[in-house]
Structures are given as structure tokens and as C-alpha cells.
Amino acid sequence: MPVSNVPKGSNGRNSEAFARELERAGVAFGREVALSRYTTLGLGGPAEFLARPRAADEIHTLLKLAEAHELPVKVLGAGSNLIVSDAGVRGVVLHTAALDFVRFDDGGIVHAGAGCHFPGLVRQCATRGLRGIEAGVGIPGSLGGVLTMNAGAYQFSIGPLVDEVIVVSASRGQGVMPRDAIDFRYRASSFGGGLIVAGARLALTLDEPAAIRADMDERMRFRKQTQPVGVKSAGCIFKNPEGASAGQLLEELGLKGFSVGGARVSDVHANFIVHSGDADTADVLGLIDAVRERVLRTTEIELEQEVMTWS
Ligand SMILES: Cc1cc2nc3c(=O)[nH]c(=O)nc-3n(C[C@H](O)[C@H](O)[C@H](O)COP(=O)(O)OP(=O)(O)OC[C@H]3O[C@@H](n4cnc5c(N)ncnc54)[C@H](O)[C@@H]3O)c2cc1C
């Protein structure tokens, strides 16, 4: 939790006082940390602060200190649904990676931290014969990100499997939200903004590990055939418009392969933007604007962005 190497261009007195108090509180953090290392797109400038609380009470400490010093806070999970500007972000990025506990109780109950890598959690559940989340094995997020985005694939959606979620906010501290108090919508939920997911209790059903693994493998095979793998992307860029598939719409408009700078609409799935290392965030954002504008002009459909943007 070094306060050494105080960077040039830091935000002045508030930032320095925040750094001192965060260090005193024992919350691990770094300064001017390149966010390109923490997004699946592999792009993005530095975070003024990147903090890694290890428990809900540390999240609350961090939020109160940031509030006291008027520093904005953003939450980072696995960065798989995120586009970060080339300039990076001032203030605090709360990275959930250290909230990675997993505990299995009898009867299919799983307690897991927000920072658990979702595909890893799915695999652990399969090994223990726990069914319910296997269709999400290819979603490369954290559990907190999956809950916040209400991520889904095929028939899978996380909402019905949630017993309760441990949340933290600056004003109310730590709390527990039962399933029926949570609003899970299409790629959105009650979480985000000031309401941070620290962990969750999931209720899964029991089955044979081999049967679960077979279903998981089948999902992965299908994904590999239909989505770009092994390349840098942030997943689907746009939400599906009412009654249609955004990917199909973009493909029908001939947008596969369309590019701006180093960013390119995938040839495999038109709702993915990929790059091979020579793009910057400005290219990606330029391409998103150009695609959205083309769709609006040709079809009068206004595409809504699924991927989050930090500037
Ligand atoms: C190759 C690829 C395939 C994908 N396939 C799918 C798919 O099939 N289905 C699907 O739905 N998505 C898919 N995605 C998108 C992405 O994986 C999901 O949206 C995932 O849920 C994002 O989780 P994350 O931890 O990476 O969130 P991040 O990208 O880190 O953050 C996304 C948003 O959630 C917020 N957030 C993250 N964690 C928390 C928390 N603990 N508390 C409060 N807010 C939080 C962030 O502030 C941000 O606004 C795919 C992405 C890629 C790269």
C-alpha cells in the first residue's frame, strides 16, 4: 500500500490527504495504475487510485474517505464490460479482486465474494455437482459484475439463483438485500451507482458433476463457433433492440470488418469490437459512434450501449 512515487498531475491536497488516511486504515491501493491491465479490451489510461478492499467493512471505509475528500469512486470487477478513456480516470477505482472468498454449504448453497472470477466459480460449482450457473461459464466477468449487469447467456440468468446479496453504500454501510428486493432487468440491476456488491449467497441444485460438465463444454463449444475468442474485446457493445438481435442487425448492414483506426467490428460476431493491439480507446469510441449512426440513419433504430464507458 505504498504512498511512495507520488505522481505528477495528482489531484492535489484532497488526494494526498485521502492517500494518507487510506494507508492508515490499512486498505491496499496503488496510484496512477494503468487500467489497460484490468480490462479485457486491454485499453484505458491510469486510475488516480486503484484500491483493493478485502472485506465489506474496508469498502465502507474507502467510500467514507473518498466522500470526505470529494473524490469520485468507480467500481471495477473483471473489466469485461468496460471501455476506459485513454486519459484514464481521476479519483478512486475500487477493484473488487480481493473479495474472492468462496464457501460451500450443504443443500447447494454457495457464498462467494464479488471479486470471484465467474468462470472459475462456475467450474468449482460443477466439480461439486452444483447446477444452475453452468451456462454462464463463458462470461468472463466477476460475480459482482455479473450481478450488477444481470449478465446472461442462452437461458441462463443469475437473478433466479440469488438468495441474497451483501451490499455496501457510503450512506448506509453494509446491508443484505434478499432476492425479492432486487430489481434484475435486461443487462441492468439495482446495483451500481453508489450501491456496491460485496458478495452473494446463491442457491443451486444438485446433479452429477459429469452431466454439468458436459453441458458446460457444449456451451463453450457453441460460444467458440459464434464469438471471437482469443482476441481483445469487451463483449457485446449494444443491447438487443426490442424483438431483434443487435449482432444480426449489424451483420445485415454489412458492418462486419468495418473499422476506425485499430478498432474493428469482428468478422465472427458483428456486435463485438476487437483489436489486435494497435488501437486506442478513441478508435473504439469512434467506431461505436459510427456504427450507431449508420444503424440510426438506415433503420431508424437507436441502439443502446450495453458496454459501460468511463471517461
Ligand atoms: C468475450 C466476452 C464474452 C462475453 N459474453 C457475455 C455474455 O454471454 N453475456 C453477458 O451478459 N455478458 C457477456 N460479456 C460481458 C461481461 O462479461 C459481463 O457484462 C460481466 O457481467 C461484466 O462483469 P465484470 O466483472 O467484468 O464487470 P466490469 O466490466 O468490471 O464492470 C461492469 C459494470 O459493473 C459495475 N460493477 C462491477 N462490479 C461491481 C460491483 N461489485 N458492485 C457494483 N458495481 C459493479 C462497474 O462499475 C461497471 O459499471 C462478455 C464479455 C466478453 C469480453
Backbone angles phi, psi at 29, to 5 degrees: -155, 160
pLDDT tens sequence across 292-311: 999 999 999 999 999 999 98
Q: 58 CA to middle of ligand 1, Å?
A: 22
How confident is the model over 14-51, as pLDDT tens digits?
999 999 999 999 999 999 999 999 999 999 999 999 99
Q: Where are the beta strands (DSSP E) in 115-252?
A: 130-131, 152-153, 156-157, 162-169, 173-178, 196-203, 205-206
- Which of 92, 142, 149, 156 has most ligand 1 atoms within 8 Å of CB, for mutation? 149
Q: How far is the CA of 140 from the centre of ligand 1 (A)?
A: 7
Q: Which CATH class is domain 102-225?
A: alpha beta
pLDDT at position 273, please?
98
Is 80's pLDDT higher than 80?
yes
Q: How confident is the model at residue 11 (pLDDT cuts 50, 70, 90)?
A: low
Instruction: Work out whether strand 89-95 and strand 46-52 pair parallel, antiparallel, or are unpaired.
Output: parallel
Q: Which percentage of the chain shows pLDDT scores above 70?
A: 96
Domain boundaries, the chain: 13-95, 102-225, 229-301
Percent over 90 (pLDDT), the chain: 92
- Is the pLDDT score of 146 beyond 70? yes
Mean pLDDT of 203-210: 98
Q: What is the average per-residue pLDDT within 180-198? A: 96
Which whole number is the average pLDDT over 194-213?
98
Q: Is the minimum distance from the CB of 141 to ligand 1 under 6 angstroms? A: yes
**Measured from the CB, is residue 96 less than 6 Å from ligand 1?**
yes
Distance from residue 39's CA to the centre of ligand 1 (Å): 10
| Burial (0-12, 13-18, 19+ Cβ within 10 Å), 200 | buried
pLDDT band at 4 (very low <50, low <70, confident <90, very high): very low
pLDDT of residue 311: 86
Q: Which of 60, 95, 139, 189 to mutate for ligand 1's pocket (most ligand atoms within 8 Å of CB)?
A: 139
**Is the CB of residue 212 below 6 angstroms from any atom belonging to ligand 1?**
no
Which residue's alpha carbon is nearest to atom 1 within ligand 1?
Answer: 235
**Is residue 137's pLDDT more than 60?**
yes
**pLDDT grade for 81, boundaries at 50, 70 and 90:** very high
The band of 155, judged by pLDDT with boundaries at 50, 70 and 90, is: confident
229-301: CATH class: alpha beta
pLDDT at 6: 41
pLDDT of residue 13: 76
pLDDT of 7: 42
Q: Does 99 sit in the ligand 1 pocket, CB within 6 Å?
A: no
User: What's the average model confidence in pLDDT over 68-79?
Assistant: 97
Residue whose CA lies nearest to ligand 1 atom number 6: 139
Our answer on whether the CB atom of 190 is closer than 6 Å to any ligand 1 atom is no
**pLDDT for res 82:** 98
Thinking of the domain 13-95, which architecture would CATH place it in? 2-Layer Sandwich (3.30)
Closest protein CA for atom 37 of ligand 1: 145
Q: What is the mean pLDDT of the chain?
A: 95
Beta carbons of 224 and 230 less than 8 angstroms apart: no
